[in-house]
Amino acid sequence: MKKKWWIPYAFLALPLTMYLIWVIIPIFQTVIISFTDWDSVSPSYNFIGLENYKMLFYDYYFLTSLLNNIKWMVGFVIVAIPIGLGIAMLMDQKFKGNKFFKTMMYLPMTLSFVVIGEIWTWILEPNHGVINEFLRGIGLGNLAKPWLSDPNLVTYALIFAALWRQISYAMVLFLAGLQSVPTEQVEAAYVDGANSWQRFWYVILPALRPAMVIAITVNIIDSLRAFDIVFVITRGGPFYSSSVMANYMYIESFNNYNMGYGASIAVIQFFITLGFIIWYLINSFKKEDNL
């Protein structure tokens, strides 16, 4: 039977249309709205040029949110990746109960950040929360802190809660990456007398490069997208101290009726994210060139 050329296109037509309507077009609409003072309710609006963008640089809360996003990024990259890699290396060994532990480590991945947020609201609760109760229980009561009320601690508490899931995500990526590490090379290194650290550093890690690039990119993008867990646990509070860009955009657009201003935050966030995606693409093309 002759293959009909249009069949793949027919399958793609619906998802592509939806993607266009709900993702691509809104991106351009957002850019347009970011040049206006639209309040999301009025039928009319004024074009005010770059006014919204100018205001952002004087907006203390936007800058706080941006700084918090950077904290998230650092946390996701320098904490989640090494720990995720370490756990992946452990789980890659053959030992009894290996499947069970792998599943346990993978479990947080299956939860949405909303559920995680609800769980951690209780864990971090200052009075009867698990963490503070535990600290008091082992005689370290002075380390028990108002995790969600102290403006200097709250962002770290949120990142910590998010890392719970992010680490398991990194682990999954590295476990997949470890499958592609050629066993012959590792064995050859072993025969050549390389110790386990040398085998890891000179043989396994370079082979994990593609997985590493993916893990770093995904974690950076996830840190920029951080929203749900902040929204559920603190709503950006107390007084915006734990706010991230997405959260501040939401408050400005939907609570404060500043849709134009909110859109300009979204555009900034979009371009930062785009920068990292381009960085990722360049990296992955480079790799293909080397082949």
Q: Which residues bind other proteins (CB under 8 A)?
A: 40-43, 124-127, 146-149, 151, 234-235, 237-240, 251, 254-258
Which DSSP letter does residue 46 get? -
Residue 86 vs 238, nearer CB to other proteins: 238
Alpha-carbon Rg for the chain in angstroms: 23
CB 167, CB 84: distance < 8 Å: yes
Residues in the chain: 291
- 279 and 62 in contact (C-beta within 8 Å)? no
Residue 143 DSSP label: G
Least separation in angstroms between CB 230 and other proteins? 12
Tell the smallest beta-carbon distance from residue 66 to other proteins (Å): 18
CB of 9 vs other proteins, minimal distance in Å: 31
Q: Toward other proteins, which CB reaches closer, 148 or 211? A: 148
User: Closest CB to other proteins among 92 and 125?
Assistant: 125
Q: What is the closest distance, in whole angstroms, from the C-beta atom of residue 272 to other proteins in the complex?
A: 25
**Residue (127 or 183) nearer to other proteins, CB:** 127
Question: 210-215 long-range CB contacts below 8 Å, 24 or more apart?
Answer: 210/177, 210/180, 210/284, 210/287, 211/173, 211/174, 211/176, 211/177, 211/178, 211/180, 212/81, 212/177, 213/280, 213/283, 213/284, 213/287, 214/173, 214/177, 214/280, 215/81, 215/84, 215/170, 215/173, 215/174
Residue nearer to other proteins on the CB measure, 155 or 258: 258
Residue closer to other proteins, measured from CB, 81 or 124 = 124
Measured from the CB of residue 255, what is the shortest distance to other proteins in angstroms? 5
| Closest distance to other proteins from the beta carbon of 128 (Å) | 11
Cα–Cα distance measured from residue 209 to residue 57, given in angstroms and rounded to the nearest whole number: 37
